[in-house]
Amino acid sequence: MALIEIRGLSTVFGPHPQAALEKVRAGMDKPGLLATTGHVLALDRIELDIEGGEIFVIMGLSGSGKSTLVRHINRLIDPTEGTVRIAGEDVTALPIPALIALRRRRLAMVFQRFGLHAHRSVLDNVAYGLEIRGVPRAQRENEARAWIERVGLAGVETQYPAQLSGGMQQRVGLARALCAGTDIILMDEAFSALDPLIRSQLQGELLALQATLGKTVVFITHDLDEALRIGNRIAILKDGALVQVGTPEDILLRPADDYVAAFVRDVNRARALRLHNALAPWPQTHPLPALARAVDVDAPIESVLPRLVGRSTPIALRKDGRIVGCVDVDAVSALLAPQG
């Protein structure tokens, strides 16, 4: 059983969502629904399993329903149809007190437009999740200070959100979510306003956190390189429907349709793909090289490119202390430049 199970989730925005959804079931499409009834079909029969401890990335064009989808996980939005279960518990049917308890215990969120409280200092914003739960002031402020430092904002504790730059505000939102100490974190474009340096640093932090604390992260991003770096699995949304869910390599090597293929076209494939994708048996005609000269099969292709260029003999690959095969120039270039 997956930690988060989404079943048959459909959501329509407008005054009469049920009636509009029936029109969709009768065959009307999203633009048609908008044109004739003014209702927006934001999500259409989503089926999704998110495992505990994974970083699950959601991608898709603007307006494809990413933010709407994650808002169902903590039920900021009620679906028109379908269910969301967390550890087997149906979130969509929880009574309000139980829902509040669940949000406090398990769910934190980073908002696309930050959602900071203008009347609270940075420190009080970050400590908010603990404050709501009644954690004593001294304790929650200590905790908050540690997270403020961790996101690189030490020194601005007493300032107010309006005094900070966009990237700093985004990090306050990030620290607020982390400070709540929940095991699930929903991150809606949590790194979008950051400069490349801090961004890559925080991606590293996130990976470390997930590795040490086993957090489950649902991460929305527009940046495919980011998705490939941090995502264990990636889901791609189009007009409110899921078109593909898979590992980064699935998405790159086996795109489900042209939409996904177009999506992944500009990715740095040499960095995203690992050598085992080009693995071939070691040719019988050559003697086996020394193990020390072999490269790990899980290394990115990028790491052998300099050695591979202008070389006719293959490079040996190793796994678990023995040589398992090789890669050569032809296999690698086929991977890096698909469809000719």
Partner 1 sequence: MEIFPDWRTPLRKGANASIDWLIINFGDQFEAFANSLLGVLLLIERVLRGAPPWAILLVTALLALAVSRRWRFALGASAGMWLVGALGQWDQAMQTLALVLVSVGVSVLLGLPLGIWCARSPWVRRLVSPVLDLMQTIPSFVYLIPAAMLFGLGKVPAILATVIYAAPPLVRLTELGISQVSREAMEAGRAFGATRWQLLTGVQIPLSLPSIMQGINQTTMMALAMVVIASMIGARGVGETVLLGLQRNDAGEGLVGGLVIVVLAIVLDRIMQAGGARLQRGGT
Ligand X SMILES: Nc1ncnc2c1ncn2[C@@H]1O[C@H](COP(=O)(O)OP(=O)(O)OP(=O)(O)O)[C@@H](O)[C@H]1O
Applying CB under 6 A, the site for ligand X has a residue count of 12
Q: Examine residue 104 and tell whether it contacts partner 1 (CB under 8 A).
A: yes
Q: Which residue number, 79 or 129, has a Cβ lying nearer to partner 1?
A: 129
Q: Which residue number, 43 or 242, has a Cβ lying nearer to partner 1?
A: 43
Tell me which stretch binds ligand X (CB under 6 A): 56-64, 143-151, 225-233, 307-315: 56-64
Q: Examine residue 227 and tell whether it contacts ligand X (CB under 6 A).
A: no
Q: Which residue number, 42 or 252, has a Cβ lying nearer to Mg ion?
A: 42
Handedness of CA 210, 213, 218, 221 (dihedral sign): negative
Contact residue for partner 1 among 23, 39, 103, 140 (CB under 8 A): 103
Q: Examine residue 67 and tell whether it contacts Mg ion (CB under 5 A).
A: yes
Tell me which stretch binds ligand X (CB under 6 A): 59-67, 131-139, 211-219, 314-322: 59-67
Q: Examine residue 40 and tell whether it contacts ligand X (CB under 6 A).
A: yes
Q: Examine residue 163 and tell whether it contacts partner 1 (CB under 8 A).
A: yes
Q: Shortest Cβ distance from residue 66 to ligand X (Å)? A: 4
Starting at the earlier edge strand, list the strands of the sheet with 40-50: 40-50, 4-13, 81-86, 89-90
Tell me which stretch binds Mg ion (CB under 5 A): 59-67, 160-168, 247-255, 305-313: 59-67
Tell me which stretch binds partner 1 (CB under 8 A): 58-66, 80-88, 103-111, 322-330: 103-111
Q: Examine residue 109 and tell whether it contacts partner 1 (CB under 8 A).
A: yes
Q: Shortest Cβ distance from residue 200 to ligand X (Å)? A: 21
Contact residues for ligand X, defined by CB under 6 A? 13, 40, 42, 60, 62-68, 112
Contact residues for partner 1, defined by CB under 8 A? 71, 74, 76, 100-104, 107-109, 111, 113-119, 121, 128-129, 131-133, 159-163, 176, 180, 186
